[in-house]
Chains A and B, each alone.
Chain A
Amino acid sequence: MLSLRIARPASAIFRNALTPKSIRLSSVRFLSTRYTTDHEWVSFDSNTNIGTVGITDYAQKALGDVVFVELPGQGAEVAQGDSIGAVESVKAASDIYAPVSGIIEEINETLADQPGLLNKAPQGDGWLCKLKLSDPSEFEALLNAEAYKAHCEGN
C-alpha cells in the first residue's frame, strides 16, 4: 500500500516529463492533469477522450476524514459546473462539481467501502469517476498545476 502511494505521484511526474510539446503536436496519446478552483483535478487521456476526476490533496486536508461519497450513476450526462455528487466528512458535506462536460463512464466503486481512500490517495486510488468529455477544450481551459498551486496559496 505504501509503495503504491509513493509510486503514483511519482509516475504522474514521469508522465508529464515525457510529454514534451513535439510529441503532443504529433497527436500521439498524451495524458495531462488540470485543476479547478473548486479543488478538483482532471486527468485527461486524449486517445480515449476520457477524463478521470478527483479531489486534490488540499481539498482532502480541508475536509478531514471522509466517511461517505455519493457519485452519479454510470451513463449520466453532466454539464460543466453541475453538482454531480458529494464528499462528506463528519464535519461537513461538500459538493462535487463536474469540472468538464461529458458522460459518466465509470465511478470508483471502491469508495463505497473505503471512503478513506480519498484521504489516503486523493490523486491516486481515491479518484471519483471517469467521464467521456463532450468538449475537450473545456479541459484545456482549466488550471495547470502551477496556476492551481498559486490559487491555493494566493487567495
Chain B
Amino acid sequence: MSSADSALPVPVGRPRTRASRRDLWRFLAKRLAAGVVLCIGITLVSFVLTQLVPGDPAAANLGNRAVEDPAAVAAFRAQYGLDKPLPVQYGVYLGKLVRGDLGESQQSHRTVKADLAEYIPATFELALFAIVLSLVVGVTLGVVAAVFRDRWPDQVLRVVSLAGVSMPTFWIALLAFFVFFYKLGWLPGGGRLGPALTPPPRTTGMFTVDAALAGQWSVLGSALEHLVLPGLVLATYTVGMLLRFTRASMLEILGNDYVRAARAKGLPERVVVVRHVLRPALISIITVAGLAFGSLLSGTVLVETIYSWPGLGQYAYTSAKNLDLPAIMGVSVVVAAVYIAINLLVDLLYGVIDPRIRLS
C-alpha cells in the first residue's frame, strides 16, 4: 500500500493481458477507419466548396488578355479537367488521391505534392517549437495558479491567460516584428535562414534537425534564431489556453479525498502536487494540447504571412487568394488528416497515462 502511494503505479510497463491488447487493436482499427471516412468527407467538402462558387479559376489564373480568348480558356479548362462533369472530376481526383497524386498547382505549375513536401516540414518545425514552448510554459504557470488559488499570483495569471487568448495573432506578430526586429535588431524578422547561408542537406526538411544531423552549427544557430519570433508569437494563444485549462483541471482534482489523504499522511506538498494532482490532470491537458496543435496550424496562416515563413499557412493563404483549386484541396486534406492523426494519438496517450481508459 505505502509503496504504491510513494510511487504512483506506472501503467506503461504493466504487463498487458492478451485480451486487453486485442481490444486496444480493435479500438485503433475503429478509430483509423473513422479517420479515413472523415478524410473522404473532407475531400468532398473542399471539392464541393471549390466547385459551387462564383469564382472562375480560369479568370483567376490567366491574364486579362488570355481570358478574352475563348481558345485559351478552353485549353486551360481541358488541361486541368475543368470541362468534365463534376462527379467525374471528383472521381478522378479521388482516384489520384489514393495514389498520392494531388494534382498540379495552377499557381506554381508544380505538383501539389511537391509543393506540400516543401512547405509541410517548415510549418511542422514551427508548430512543434510553439507547442513544446506552450506546454512547458502553460502547464507550469497553470500549476502555479492552481497552487496559489485565489491569491495574487492566481489573479495575475488569470489576466495573463485571458490576455493570451484575446490577443489578435496577426497584431502581436506585427508588434513583435516592429520591436524585436526593426527597433532593437535582436532577432531576424523573416524567412528560415540568414541570407548568406544555404539550407542544410535535406533529410527531414526541418532546418534545425537537418543542420544538427549534418553538423552545420552556424546553420543550426541561424535556423533557431529565425524560429524564435514566429514561435513565440504563435505560442501566445496556446499558452493562455493551456494555462487556463491546467488550472481548472488541477483545481478539480485538488478537491479529491485521496489528495487530502496524501497530505494528512505527511507527504511533502511538492510530491502531492506533482504526483497526485498533476499526473491525473495531464489526461485532460493532453486533450487540450491536441486541440491547441490545431489552433497552432490555424495560427500559422496569420503568422507565416507576416514573417514570410515558407510554410503551409502561407501556401494556404496564397492559394485561397488565387483560387488555386488543387492546392486548396491538397492543403485542406493534408491539414485535416494531420489533425485527425493528432486526435488519434491523443486517444492513445490516454491509455498510456491512465490505465482505466484503455478502450473507448
Q: A and B bound? A: no
Instruction: Give chain B's interface residues, CB within 8 Å of chain A.
Output: none
